[in-house]
Amino acid sequence: MSMKITRLRTYWNAAEACNVIEFLDQLRDQLWNHYGEQITDMLKEATADQANDDEQHTFDFDNDPPF
């Protein structure tokens, strides 16, 4: 598989920029309506995986530092 490069114009006038922002808002809303529950579940799983990571160390904040 080869990587494809998409060229995107990065300068717009104010009206064009407004149109892009409106499009992105609509796209986000549609994606959230369709995938919102799945995205929420995925993020919960990722958070749980981080909480259960054996490589993470805990600190005992009840003890005063030795200095």
Q: What is the pLDDT of residue 53?
A: 63
Q: Per-residue pLDDT tens for 6-20? A: 888 889 999 999 999
Mean pLDDT score, 23-43? 96
Is residue 27 over pLDDT 70? yes
Domain spans of the chain?
26-50
CA–CA distance, 41 with 13 (Å, rounded to integer): 39
Q: What is the pTM of this model?
A: 0.57
**Residue-by-residue DSSP string for 8-64:** ------HHHHHHHHHHHHHHHHHHHHHHHHHHHHHHHHHHHHHHT-TT-----TTSP
**61 or 5, greater pLDDT:** 5
Q: What would the pLDDT profile of 37-56 be if each residue is shown by its tens digit?
A: 999 999 998 888 776 666 66
Q: Which distant-in-sequence residues (6+ apart) come within 8 Å of 39 by Cβ?
A: 32
